[in-house]
Structure 1
């Protein structure tokens, strides 16, 4: 029989050894938990923090000013039919782009509609749906006014109707952009007899910031549109339509649902609207492959008081209150929705569902191919006709 020496026996685990092992395991768990919390905070803050620089997701390959063309790298936006814009160069220029000319391969060549000189021949750029970047480009009478909001005076552009009828439209832009986004809508509303007010709101880079400097995703910004209603009424408005692009859609719907002046609101027009932040954030998390536990925790942090330490928000965002689809029964005014099934940023499912839930109030004009907030650019005639027909029926 083989004898076992003491060296063959496992060493007994002392209480000190067990304590050190437990301490190491606890340290690992704390480190993992800390990393998770940091990741959650990073994702949550990204949602509510206003962008101060443009994402350069396009590339200019060449500029031919003599022949009036510009060649870009291809992506789902740069190859679209229609008229668009491009932020390019240092100092930054805004260039108007016309239709695609020539074949599409790894690059696409478009008509360059802006006379420019002194810009680089290549480099990173930002493709835009604005087309118009300044109010004077419309060739219409306008004035700069200030709307007295709860956070201070917010600049706005006022385009008077040709004949004053008391009908006004107040238009709110989307997340990460400015009121220039809304200039495309001015001509159709002026032709319909409306005075148009293009507003800014807290934390958009033009209006004063809120105390926390962060987006409320519509949960706070609606107060600034409500203040714009006060401004319109003081100037003779008697019937008001609210219009919003993307997050601006959330903002104007919340204004209609919460304003003490809701009886003045005759209708709502929504372009590529965010109607349910939950599904939008899920869609974007899928696109960027953010794990489900992280995305769920980030949404919880934004929407609960305990998450304020992670997000920096003064007040948690009420996602339930912002879910217009689930609150469809609360709508009381006619709504026109323009949304593309190929939006690529805000899924159109909420628009479809709201139209089904309230066929008595909601007119839904679906698009395809067009990308987020670029419906006017892709098919200006159809976009314009949809608003004209709806406005005529409303009147």
Structure 2
């Protein structure tokens, strides 16, 4: 006779196998839930890295005094900085130039307005503090022309500021992530004063250049080909030597041109402002600031670096982080490099810039700033910034004229 199968009576003890089995099922369920959550977060982080994003408001307009021409903003590590800056707003005045700090308290900063704001103006409270300063090439009051550079996937708009004198050196400038070529306008006067022609170029997926199939960044791995096309343009227009200048992610792009360009014989040197030299250091730093768990960051970087995850991350293909690590590839560098970077950058840490100096002291010079924030070194101390670039250009025989006053 078969024994009957009975439920365990209330209060009775389960056997050890039943307890262990239940715990394992619970742990497996919990672990799968944790892994699924981490996977979702990793995908979001990976997409954020490669997706071009608009300007993000980072301060609030508290007050505008039209009579005194002052503006009061919420206080941040950026809005309290000395120097001249820009402010992106919405309403009747979409872009404002800001002067020195006139007053501050624990929560706000009052600055001088360098763009006249009429009393009847209406500004939305949310705004984005910027290091651009100039937002239109005409503001430099220098002759320039609009050009189109024939890039591999389509035409890239550019501004060409010809040298005033007989100088034959060109500089090709590369803007950073989430910005456009107007970011580079601050550097035109110092090069112009040195007798150097400036070419400021848009590149794929930056909102002005051509759009790739995915519309996403590759962090310099493909964008460099558009800048290489600009070197070809310079060569065809008689330039015997070119200086590359890159801002932030533009630094990563310029370094890829230095490492990979078939026009390498044209390159005379590289100037880097707040550059990305190793993306893994930058992304790990930014993830920690956002309190992203370390395993999620590693999952995101791993996904970005693999072919199979391209459809999920929308990167369109693997990001070659090893090839983008210029410290690891320092032995391949061929030309003099000037780095301008702040140890208080706050967005792209200066660690890899220091590492590159250690790896190639024969080629790399490093002007270390403090206090100044990311890509705002010119704004913080324009005279020092201009003078250091001018001295470097002179030392390498790249100037064609005695430096004039810089605007």
Q: TM-score, normalised by structure 2?
A: 0.90
Asked if residue 295 in structure 1 is aligned to residue 309 in structure 2, the reply is no
Deviations 1:325-352 (A, max 9, x none): 1111111100000000100001111111
Deviations 1:189-240 (A, max 9, x none): 0111111000111110110111111100011100000011111111111100
Deviates more, 1:309-318 or 1:23-32: 23-32
User: What is the root-mean-square deviation in Å for CA atoms of aligned residues?
Assistant: 2.2
The 3 A distance-change label for structure 1 pair 167 and 73 is same
Deviations 1:102-149 (A, max 9, x none): 344321111101013343366111000000000000000001101111
Secondary structure of residue in 1 paired with 2:287: helix
- Matched with 1:160 is 162
Secondary structure of residue in 2 paired with 1:391: helix
- How much does 1:26 deviate? 5.7
Gaps of 5+ in 2: 1-6, 398-407
In the alignment, is the contact (CA less than 8 A) between 2:91 and 2:123 conserved in 1?
no
Write the mapping of 1:123-138 to structure 2, written as runs, cut at 5 A: 123-138=125-140
- Matched with 1:143 is 145
- Matched with 2:58 is 57
From 259, 270, 276, the counterpart of 1:268: 270
CA distance in 2, matches of 1:78, 1:333: 36
From 191, 214, 217, the counterpart of 1:215: 217
Write the mapping of 1:184-223 to structure 2, written as runs, cut at 5 A: 184-223=186-225
Deviations 1:371-395 (A, max 9, x none): 0000000000000000000011111
Write the mapping of 1:1-395 to structure 2, written as runs, cut at 5 A: 7=9, 10=12, 28-51=30-53, 53-90=54-91, 93-117=94-118, 118-120=120-122, 123-395=125-397
CA distance in 1, matches of 2:59, 2:289: 18
Deviates more, 1:124-133 or 1:320-329: 320-329
In the alignment, is the contact (CA less than 8 A) between 1:71 and 1:110 conserved in 2?
yes
CA distance in 1, matches of 2:8, 2:172: 87
How many pairs does the alignment contain?
388
- Matched with 2:400 is none
- How much does 1:286 deviate? 1.1
CA distance in 1, matches of 2:172, 2:39: 40
Deviations 1:25-52 (A, max 9, x none): 765554443322211111100011000x
CA distance in 1, matches of 2:347, 2:374: 6
Q: TM-score, normalised by structure 1?
A: 0.93
Secondary structure of residue in 2 paired with 1:102: strand
CA distance in 2, matches of 1:250, 1:239: 20
CA distance in 2, matches of 1:84, 1:57: 14
Deviations 1:159-195 (A, max 9, x none): 0001243210000000000111000000000111111
The 3 A distance-change label for structure 1 pair 243 and 11 is same
CA distance in 2, matches of 1:155, 1:277: 27
CA distance in 1, matches of 2:97, 2:281: 33
In the alignment, is the contact (CA less than 8 A) between 1:50 and 1:204 conserved in 2?
yes
In the alignment, is the contact (CA less than 8 A) between 2:93 and 2:117 conserved in 1?
no
Gaps of 5+ in 1: none
CA distance in 2, matches of 1:31, 1:44: 20
CA distance in 2, matches of 1:103, 1:309: 48
The 3 A distance-change label for structure 1 pair 390 and 7 is closer
